[in-house]
Amino acid sequence: MKDIKIVFIVALLAVGSLNAVTKTSQEVFDKWIQWQQVCEDCSLVKKPTQLTAEWWGNVQTRYNKYNTMLQPCAHVLCDMTAKSINGQSIAPSISFQAKSSFNTIYTWLDNDMDSFLQYMLAHKFIDPAVNDYESKDDINNVILKYRRLFKLFLSDSDKHIQLKHFIALANRMFEYSFGLQTFPCFYQLLQDPTKHQLTRLLYSVMWFYLVGEGWKHWSEQCLRDIEREAKQGKEIVYIAGGNDIYQLLGRGIYRIRIIDPILPSQPAYYAEGWDWLVQGNGIGDILKFDNGRKKLLLKRSAYQEHGTFNASLSTGQSAALPLSTTTWTVYERNKKVGSVIFERRFCKPSDFVINSKKQSLLISFNEMYFVALPDDMHGWGIGAERLPENLLLHVKQLRKPVSKQVMANIRQGEYSPFMFILLGSCAT
């Protein structure tokens, strides 16, 4: 009897409807496969044995390369390297004092961001003329300058390792900036225009590596956390997840609910065939998923329309889009193991009020930011104050979930006198 049942399921998958289409994960998720990286969190502390002549030679080379842009940082770099680097002459080898200084700085970047910032203040990183110039300069120039500053010490010939280091640094900066214990210190910096060089430094790294470049990538720890939640039988509710399900399926996460308007601007950012996943005329369509570890079949099993909703597109135009629900049933080894449900709509406050025993919330960094902000700050009409007290929000690029208080800190920070790039700003 069991064999008959298996044959019946296989036949059902093979036949579908007369107009059923079969696509592979390579076709549907090609851009994600090419672009997306999963970065494990790593320590930024360097052992003294890692501060080699080769490492120092790379620091010198990059300093010479970026010398003009980094000139405003020359004084603090001179102190940081115990005068081994000063923009005019380069010492052939790094001194013991400089190694000791760097060892301390790497340790601060890893687990004591406030001490690093206090060091920068004490060593005259702040310059009123530079601070004033930066406030009027092109934002992209300022971001590039501070990226190059940290590239002196965190660059690696292996681009994945370099990305991993910078996402780790951006995570620590975010935790310092909006974390429960350290937000008051960060907020004081935001409130003091004379110290905005420091906040621009933090925002430049956070924005670029969590949004500008990091929007594509996953934190390994975030994936592990939601994988653990999925193994407890929970449905993963991915707010504004688009078609970013490749990594989830590959981790054995098979109960997924996407809440996203899935705008027609998607092809420019994520996938060419975004519309195929949510179209209404393909019952029986099959998606063959194979990432080298997991082989799955996803079958489009249901589609419902509930009217339309209006959305503003990146072109400036407005469009009426179908308010719809598309269900893909997930099979592994001919056995039904879950479903991927696309709810094509904007999210609302009630989406964040979940049964924590049955569901777990996931979101990307820039979308998380707009959830936190109120309407008058370009938010999504939700705002931190409308979120549940027990909120636990897993964020694609972050190693730790965020709470309602962290969201409230983000909101409060945006009401400060500090004017620079909005951390949630879309890179594209």
Q: How far, in Å, CA of 11 to CA of 7, rounded?
A: 6
Q: pLDDT tens digits, residue range 252-311?
A: 999 999 999 988 876 556 666 778 899 888 999 999 999 999 999 999 999 999 999 888
In a domain? residue 39: no
Closest CA to 31 of 373, 318, 273: 273
Burial group, residue 245, by CB count within 10 angstroms (0-12, 13-18, 19+):
buried
176 plus 235 within the same structural domain: no
Residues 316 and 228 in one domain: yes
Provide the total of helices (H) and of strands (E) in the chain, helices listed first. 17, 11
Give the integer Cα–Cα distance in Å for 408 and 90: 47
More confidently predicted of 218 and 96: 218
For residue 180, what are the domain limits?
Answer: 48-216
SS3 (DSSP) at 333: coil
In this prediction, residue 91 carries a pLDDT of 53
If asked whether residues 189 and 298 sit together in one domain, one would say no
State how far the Cα of 360 lies from the Cα of 391, in Å rounded to an integer.
10
Examine the fold and report which residue of 182, 216, 250 is the final residue of a domain before the chain moves on.
216
Cα–Cα distance for residue pair 169/109, rounded to 1 Å: 7
Q: Higher model confidence: residue 8 or residue 383?
A: 383
Higher pLDDT pick, 34 / 316: 34
- Residues 226 and 150 placed together within one structural domain of the fold: no
Are 12 and 275 contacting, i.e. CB atoms less than 8 angstroms apart?
A: no
Kindly report, residue by residue over 341-379, the tens digit of the pLDDT: 999 999 999 999 999 999 999 999 999 999 999 888 888
Q: Do 186 and 227 reside in the same domain of the chain?
A: no
SS3 289: strand
* Model confidence at 6: pLDDT above 70: no
169 and 205 co-located in one domain: yes
Statement to judge: residues 142 and 243 lie in one domain = no
Per-residue pLDDT tens digits for 76-111 = 988 888 777 754 445 556 778 888 888 999 999 999
Residues 225 and 350 in one domain: yes
Is 287 domain-assigned? Answer: yes
pTM score of the predicted model:
0.91
Classify residue 90 as exposed, middle or buried by CB count within 10 Å of its CB (0-12, 13-18, 19+): middle
Task: For residue 361, give every residue at least 6 positions away whose Cβ sits within 8 Å of its Cβ, in sequence order, or none.
Answer: 237, 239, 352, 354, 391, 392, 393, 394
Number of domains observed in the structure of the chain: 2
Q: Of 305, 337, 363, which closes a domain?
A: 363
